[in-house]
């Protein structure tokens, strides 16, 4: 409803006189209204996320097996950068990005620097920096050797053999640190306190690439003994060359990728004694030489059956003196077994085999009374897969570990 003009004129005239008297009474009410409006418009800032780094900052002589963990409370980790000396430390976040863990144990005697950032609600951010040092161990263990060599091309049966400089007591810890990336399922098998062997469940597929990384640095292998450094090798699986030796038919057939590449009349062990009997089973080519010196086992010069010869184009297939090699006794090859346990072939064919053989090529021998022991050379394929798993420190529910005489056929 509109106010009449006369009334508006009266209020305009009276307001200057009335305002001084009314203001003291109205002021408290006006202030209360303003404060209420301000309180209603205030912005509440949530608390900043909390970051916890383990080991704690400033810690010294940290056991390497402690590991490195970064946690965020009240937010998500947006960045974690950790350095061991100058080397970036690999690690992974959990699905919620509230936890980051270093992938492997810590390097002994090393200063670590960690920088972490976490973000909470309304983009409130926390940044934390930390540093600590790991202990210097009393004793160190290192990788003494790895077979195959880095960059080598191998046969489809090739094992990975790792030897250590000291006996390993905590085999499970060391085995967990051995990372194999390749095209086939496989497992480790301990053959002694300083040696562990990896074998695929089935032969490697030809053309596959395999990499072993021994994340040994910081692994507690025994009381007071820690891994000194990491080690890695990468190798390639070559063509599938598999040889079958039938000692009864006196023939060796070599197949490459399933096709017959060579048929070789051979002469195997004459079997007059155990050491002169060729072993039956799944052998692997181990090394080769041209020539190789061969000396009769357990005999001295002048004894019956003594020999000391240089043999050409010899490919070793066991640790009991068995080779596939050249010998110019064509009269016996393909007809009768007269050797001292080796498989001999015509010089030209033996040379062909020598030139084409890679370490890890299967040589399957049949027809003799002496079986190849699983730990004679690289006879690892003599063990079935369950028996192979029994030698792993991480397979507590596996079958009992095989004895030295176990020779069951691989499945």
Give how far Cα 56 sits from Cα of 68, 77, 87, 336, 370, Å.
10, 18, 20, 75, 61
Cα gap 64→155, rounded to integer Å: 38
Q: Please tell me the predicted confidence (pLDDT) of residue 1.
A: 53
Question: Is-catalytic flag, 34?
Answer: no
Cα gap 254→259, rounded to integer Å: 8
pLDDT tens per residue across span 354-387: 999 999 999 999 999 999 999 999 999 999 999 9
Number of separate domains in the chain: 3
- On whether both 95 and 206 belong to a single domain, the answer is no
**Residues 189, 215, 283, 342: which is the catalytic one?**
342
Query: Could you tell me the pLDDT band of residue 399, with boundaries at 50, 70 and 90?
Result: very low
Closest Cα to residue 200, out of 158, 172, 161?
Answer: 158
Q: Please tell me the predicted confidence (pLDDT) of residue 28.
A: 64
- On whether both 78 and 153 belong to a single domain, the answer is no
- On whether both 93 and 163 belong to a single domain, the answer is no
- On whether both 177 and 126 belong to a single domain, the answer is no
- On whether both 261 and 358 belong to a single domain, the answer is yes
Question: 31 in a domain, yes or no?
Answer: no
- On whether both 171 and 78 belong to a single domain, the answer is no
Cα gap 133→221, rounded to integer Å: 20
- The phi, psi pair for 16, rounded to 5°, reads -60, -30
Query: Could you give the percent of the chain with pLDDT greater than 90?
Result: 79
How crowded is the C-beta side of 255, counted as CA atoms within 13 Å? 11
Q: Is the pTM of this model over 0.85?
A: no
**Residues 313, 325, 340, 346: which is the catalytic one?**
325
- Is it the case that residue 237 has pLDDT exceeding 80? yes
Closest Cα to residue 315, out of 338, 336, 294?
Answer: 294
Question: 98 in a domain, yes or no?
Answer: yes
CATH code of the domain containing 158: 2.60.40.3710
pLDDT tens per residue across span 96-107: 999 999 999 999
- Is it the case that residue 337 has pLDDT exceeding 60? yes
- On whether both 110 and 198 belong to a single domain, the answer is no
Domain end among 219, 237, 255:
237
User: Parallel, antiparallel, or unpaired: how do β-strands 370-371 and 343-345 relate?
Assistant: unpaired
- On whether both 186 and 266 belong to a single domain, the answer is no
- On whether both 228 and 254 belong to a single domain, the answer is no
Domain end among 114, 133, 152:
133
Q: Find how far residue 395's CA is from the centre of its chain.
A: 16
Question: 41 in a domain, yes or no?
Answer: no
Angle formed at CA 60 by CA 55 and CA 66, multiple of 5 degrees: 40
pLDDT greater at residue 281 or residue 22: 281
In three-state secondary structure terms, 16 is: helix
Query: Could you tell me the pLDDT band of residue 395, with boundaries at 50, 70 and 90?
Result: confident
Question: Is-catalytic flag, 325?
Answer: yes
Q: Please tell me the predicted confidence (pLDDT) of residue 6.
A: 57
Structure tokens of 52? Answer: 């916890």
Question: 397 in a domain, yes or no?
Answer: no
Structure tokens of 323? Answer: 């080779």
- On whether both 272 and 367 belong to a single domain, the answer is yes
Residue 210 CB: number of other CB atoms within 10 A?
22
Question: 34 in a domain, yes or no?
Answer: no
Beta bridge partners of 39: none
Give the domain extent around 66: 50-133
CATH code of the domain containing 122: 2.60.40.3780
Domain end among 113, 133, 153:
133
Cα gap 158→199, rounded to integer Å: 8
Question: 225 in a domain, yes or no?
Answer: yes
- On whether both 162 and 83 belong to a single domain, the answer is no
Question: 203 in a domain, yes or no?
Answer: yes
Structure tokens of 299? Answer: 């005999």
Cα gap 170→394, rounded to integer Å: 11
Q: Please tell me the predicted confidence (pLDDT) of residue 2.
A: 56
End-to-end CA distance of the chain: 102
Question: 44 in a domain, yes or no?
Answer: no
DSSP states of 241-253 as a string? EEEEEETTTTEEE
Cα gap 240→129, rounded to integer Å: 53
Residue 304 CB: number of other CB atoms within 10 A?
6
CATH code of the domain containing 342: 2.40.440.10
User: Residue 269 carries which DSSP code?
Assistant: B
Give how far Cα 325 sits from Cα of 6, 198, 268, 280, 321, Å.
132, 28, 11, 17, 12
- On whether both 223 and 280 belong to a single domain, the answer is no
Q: Please tell me the predicted confidence (pLDDT) of residue 305.
A: 76
Mean of pLDDT values over 206-214 = 97
Q: Please tell me the predicted confidence (pLDDT) of residue 46.
A: 84
């Amino acid at each position: 409803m509109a106010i009449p003009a006369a009334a508006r004129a009266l209020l305009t005239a009276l307001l200057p006189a009335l305002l001084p008297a009314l203001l003291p009474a109205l002021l408290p009410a006006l202030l209360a209204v303003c404060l209420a409006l301000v309180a209603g418009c205030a912005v509440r800032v949530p608390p900043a996320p909390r970051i916890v780094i383990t080991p704690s900052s400033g810690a010294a002589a940290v056991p390497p097996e402690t590991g490195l963990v970064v946690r965020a409370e009240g937010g998500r980790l947006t960045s974690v950068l950790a350095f061991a000396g100058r080397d970036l430390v690999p690690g992974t976040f959990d699905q919620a990005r509230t936890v980051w863990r270093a992938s492997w144990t810590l390097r002994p005697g090393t200063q670590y620097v960690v920088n972490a950032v976490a973000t909470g609600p309304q983009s409130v951010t926390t940044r934390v920096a930390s540093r600590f040092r790991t202990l210097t161990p009393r004793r160190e263990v290192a990788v003494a050797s790895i077979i195959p060599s880095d960059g080598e091309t191998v046969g489809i049966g090739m094992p990975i053999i790792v030897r250590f400089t000291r006996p390993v007591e905590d085999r499970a810890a060391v085995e967990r640190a051995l990372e194999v990336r390749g095209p086939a399922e496989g497992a480790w098998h301990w053959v002694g306190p300083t040696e562990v062997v990896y074998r695929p469940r089935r032969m490697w597929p030809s053309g596959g690439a395999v990499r072993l990384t021994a994340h040994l640095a910081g692994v507690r292998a025994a009381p007071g003994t820690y891994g000194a450094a990491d080690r890695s090798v990468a190798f390639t699986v070559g063509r599938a060359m598999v040889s079958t030796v039938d000692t009864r038919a006196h023939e060796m057939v070599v197949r490459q990728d399933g096709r017959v590449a060579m048929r070789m009349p051979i002469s195997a062990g004459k079997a007059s004694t155990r050491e002169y009997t060729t072993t039956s089973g799944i052998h692997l080519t181990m090394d080769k030489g041209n020539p190789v010196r061969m000396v009769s086992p357990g005999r001295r010069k002048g004894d019956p059956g003594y020999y000391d010869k240089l043999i050409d184009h010899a490919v070793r297939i066991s640790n009991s003196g068995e080779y596939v090699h050249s010998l110019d006794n064509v009269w016996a090859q393909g007809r009768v077994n007269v050797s001292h346990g080796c498989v001999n072939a015509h010089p030209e064919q033996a040379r062909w085999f020598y030139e084409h053989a890679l370490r890890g090529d299967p040589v399957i021998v049949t027809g003799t009374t002496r079986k190849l022991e699983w730990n004679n050379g690289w006879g690892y394929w003599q063990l079935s897969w369950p028996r192979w798993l029994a030698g792993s420190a991480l397979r507590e529910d596996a079958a009992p570990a095989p004895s030295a005489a176990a020779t069951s056929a691989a499945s």
